[in-house]
Amino acid sequence: MSLQERLFEDMKEALKAREAGKLRLSVIRLARAALKNRAIELGRELTDQDVIEVLAREVKQRREAILEYNRVGRSEVAAELEAEIAVLQEYLPQQLSREEITAEAQEVIASTGAKGTRDLGRVMGALMPRMKGRADGKVVQEIVRTLLSEAEQK
């Protein structure tokens, strides 16, 4: 079953759950709308990889919004967005741990021959396609920057 089919089936289940599935239903509807917009934009049916990219973008947007809502003291809205992220995470691949990201980053740094922070762009360019949908880009960049600055100091 493709991710889009799974979203559709879960949407039907949330509809049947009525009040209990209200949040889940709204999140799935928003996700399906974003997927439809992306399919129109690309002019083709979406692959599971395309679906993962769109859902990861939705999660990223919510994380950024959480930071802003917390900054202005709207913690109740931030909590709602956290719940939405939890629903979306069910459809994304298992997120990598910091240790797994570090191991992949070290591998890419070695293969690209990066020596310091000036090579950050080259390393990120090679690493991010491997991380797509499995890790937050900010966390990956933070880890790579740390590794490269350590390598620079040696």
H helices, E strands: number in the chain: 7, 0
Residues 123 and 93: beta-carbon distance below 8 Å: no
Tens place of pLDDT for every residue, the chain, 154 residues? 788 899 999 999 888 888 777 899 999 999 999 999 999 999 999 988 889 889 989 998 999 999 999 999 998 999 999 999 999 989 988 888 888 899 988 888 888 888 878 888 888 888 888 887 788 888 888 898 888 888 777 6
Phi (first) and psi of residue 2, to 5 degrees: -75, 165
Do 59 and 17 belong together in one domain? yes
Domain hosting residue 133, numbered range: 98-153
Q: Report pLDDT for 43.
A: 93
Do 38 and 107 belong together in one domain? no
pTM of the model: 0.75
Do 123 and 79 belong together in one domain? no
Task: List the CATH number of the domain containing 62.
Answer: 1.10.1510.10
Q: Report pLDDT for 2.
A: 85
Q: Report pLDDT for 154.
A: 66
Q: Which of 55, 71, 89 represents a domain boundary (last residue)?
A: 89
What kind and span of H or E run contains 60?
helix 48-71
Do 68 and 135 belong together in one domain? no
Do 129 and 71 belong together in one domain? no
Residues 81 and 65: beta-carbon distance below 8 Å: yes
Do 10 and 85 belong together in one domain? yes
C-alpha–C-alpha distance, residues 154 and 135, integer Å: 28
Do 80 and 106 belong together in one domain? no
Do 102 and 131 belong together in one domain? yes
Q: Which of 33, 63, 89 represents a domain boundary (last residue)?
A: 89
How far does Cα 152 stand from its chain's mean position?
30
Please give the tally of structural domains in the chain: 2
Q: Which of 65, 89, 113 represents a domain boundary (last residue)?
A: 89
Q: Report pLDDT for 131.
A: 83
How far does Cα 118 stand from its chain's mean position?
26
Residues 83 and 21: beta-carbon distance below 8 Å: no
